[in-house]
Amino acid sequence: MPEFLKSTAARAVTLVLVLHAVLFYTLSHGEAVLLVRPLAEFPKQIGEWRMIQEGVLDQETLNILKADDYLTRDYVSPSSTAAVNLYVAFFKTQRTGQTPHSPKNCLPGGGWVPSVSSIVGVPIPGRPEPIRVNQYIVSKGPSRDVVMYWYQSHGRVVASEYAAKIYVVADALRYNRTDTALVRVVVPVSGNDDDAVRVARDFIVAFFTPLAQFLPS
């Protein structure tokens, strides 16, 4: 047996895959989890942040995405010179292959090259602990962006793709639910990286609580 298959990481991945097979093929009971409110009703003004553009995905992209609802918008604020993109994709079930497409895979596929990747904490008013989110700095040609994203289910925020899959299995067993949302924020870097990171964090603080009111608890 190759040495890498004996590693703890390889065994963990194998366990996740086995649990997923059990979940998808033997434990389906016809769950029906709906959004609290359609994402189209999400506010166009959040504090000092104002929507300047509503995005619409083409049918080919929607067929690949397979989300039950989505939102893609650009917001600006008086304290930011860059427009911030907010993208949310909601899946009411993951039993039939409808799973979020990880930016970790989609960004390189779109030609974006990550130079920095980490998991960072973002303090949210009203929550006892900071939420943990993925933070990437990516570039394509002369363009450079800060990307932050996470998976959100039942009030839980998860950065790790592997942890998110494990929670899917646990929630299916306990609650007969596999719904989740992928939340992503993109900020173009116009000066230095730290300024764009600050803008992204400020925007997350502004929209996190309002968005939670649209997702199933």
The enclosing H or E element of 203 equals: helix 193-212
* Domain boundaries along the sequence of the chain: 3-212
pLDDT exceeds 70 at position 9: no
Which residue in this structure is represented by tokens 């989740």?
A: 180
The enclosing H or E element of 186 equals: strand 180-188
- CA-based nearest residue to 132, from 194, 204, 191: 204
Average pLDDT over residues 104-132: 93
Q: DSSP states of 98-149 as a string?
A: -----HHHHHHHTT-EEEEEEEEEE--TT-SSPEEEEEEEEEETTEEEEEEE
Beta bridge partners of 122: 131
- Give the residue with greater pLDDT, 138 vs 79: 138
**pLDDT of 165-190, one tens digit each?**
999 889 888 888 899 999 999 999 98
Question: Token pair for residue 24?
Answer: 């998808």
What pTM was estimated for this model as a whole? Answer: 0.85
- Give the residue with greater pLDDT, 209 vs 99: 209
Question: What was the pLDDT predicted at 25?
Answer: 46
How far is it, in rounded angstroms, from Cα 89 to Cα 178? 14
**pLDDT of 125-155, one tens digit each?**
999 999 999 999 999 999 999 999 999 998 8
Average pLDDT over residues 16-32: 53
- CA-based nearest residue to 210, from 68, 30, 54, 88: 88
Question: Token pair for residue 151?
Answer: 């998976």
Question: Residue 155: exposed, middle, or buried by beta-carbon count in 10 A (0-12, 13-18, 19+)?
Answer: exposed
